[in-house]
Every structure is written in C-alpha cells, then in structure tokens.
C-alpha cells in the first residue's frame, strides 16, 4: 500500500471503517497549544490498499465534546491527500473526527490525542480570583459597618 504521509517526523494513526482505511498524521509528535500544527489525512481502500478519493469529507475538531472551528485551512493535494493546519487554543484532550463518503459507501474515524499546554497559554490564575473575592468582601464589610453606625 502506498503511503502519502506528510507527518513523517511526527505521528501517524490508522483506523479502518466500512472498507476504508483512514491514515491521520500530525507533523508534531507532542503538539502544544498555540503551535501551528500541520495535519494530513489519506484514505485507502482497506482491501486493495489503493488510495480512495472521497466525494465528500467532513472534519470536526473537538475538545471535551465541544466542537471547535474547522481547520484554518484545508486543501487536497498529492492525489487527494488532505492537508490542513490548526492552532489548538489550549492544552487538553482533543478528538478529530473524519466522515467521508465515496459513491454510496460511508466511513468515519475518530482519533483522540493530547495537546500539551504551552508556556505562553494564558489562563486565569485561581489566586487572582481569590484576591478579588476577598477584596469585595472587605469593601462590603466596611460598607455594612458604616451603614450600621449611621442607623
């Protein structure tokens, strides 16, 4: 079977579905949030190993059951190998789902992977929230004491 992977320096996953073999690759073996990740998808006939050209291909990237925007760019190249790029907004567990059809035949595959948190990813610090709550309580306490004195 011919292999059209553009992710030779990264990782490659395969799954079979309804006579199709989905081959998914990423150029980074350990992607991090905010990194620009190039991904590829090739579909083969699972029996013959010939490249299968889908009539329709739908891609969905999700994190913990929340659908995210489709890839930033999508194009078919090299005998219908799909190449697309995506920047993961934050670290965590992700899934990428492919649904393809060719003539009357449909197949789908879901690949799950982990995206590391980048050092540049900003998340609200719990300490900031605690300080803000304490500050609000102190201000409200002072207001309550002042109101009580006036009555």
- Bridge partners of 109, per DSSP, are 98
pLDDT digits (tens, 9 = 90+) for 16-43: 999 999 999 999 888 999 988 999 889 9
Count of the separate structural domains present in the chain: 1
Nearest to residue 69, comparing CAs of 45, 54, 85, 57?
85
Q: What is the pLDDT of residue 24?
A: 93
Q: With 0-12 CB in 10 A as exposed, 13-18 as middle and 19+ as buried, what is 31?
A: buried
Give the mean model confidence (pLDDT) for residues 61-80. 61
Q: Is the pLDDT of residue 123 over 70?
A: no
Cα angle, residue 5 at apex, residues 1 and 73 outer, rounded to 5°: 135
Of 148 and 120, more confident: 120
CATH number at residue 92: 2.60.40.1930
**Cβ count within 10 A of residue 36:** 12
Whether 65 is in a domain gets the answer: yes
* 128, part of any domain: no
62, part of any domain: yes
Mean pLDDT, residues 106-112 taken together: 93
Q: Is residue 63 part of a domain?
A: yes
Hey, how many other C-beta atoms are within 10 angstroms of the C-beta on 25?
A: 24
Q: Do β-strands 81-87 and 36-45 pair in parallel, antiparallel, or remain unpaired? A: antiparallel
pLDDT of residue 83: 83
Range of 83's domain?
11-122
Say if 47 falls within a structural domain. Answer: yes
User: Is the sign of the CA dihedral 21, 26, 27, 29 positive or negative?
Assistant: negative
- Mean pLDDT across 107-127: 81
What pLDDT score was predicted for residue 127?
60
| Mean pLDDT confidence for 85-100 | 89
- The β-bridge partners of 43 are 22
């Amino acid at each position: 079977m011919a292999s059209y992977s553009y992710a030779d320096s990264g990782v490659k996953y395969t799954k079979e579905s309804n006579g199709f073999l989905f081959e998914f690759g990423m150029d980074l073996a350990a992607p991090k949030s905010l990194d620009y990740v190039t991904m590829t998808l090739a579909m083969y006939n699972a029996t013959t190993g010939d490249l299968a050209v889908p009539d329709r291909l739908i891609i969905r990237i999700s994190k913990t059951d929340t659908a995210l925007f489709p890839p930033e760019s999508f194009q078919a190249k090299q005998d219908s190998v799909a190449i697309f790029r995506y920047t993961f907004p934050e670290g965590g567990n992700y899934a990428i789902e492919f649904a393809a059809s060719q003539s009357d035949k449909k197949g789908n595959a879901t690949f799950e992977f982990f995206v590391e948190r980048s050092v540049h990813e900003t998340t609200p610090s719990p300490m900031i929230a605690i300080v803000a709550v304490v500050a609000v309580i102190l201000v409200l306490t002072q207001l309550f004491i002042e109101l009580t004195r006036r009555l």
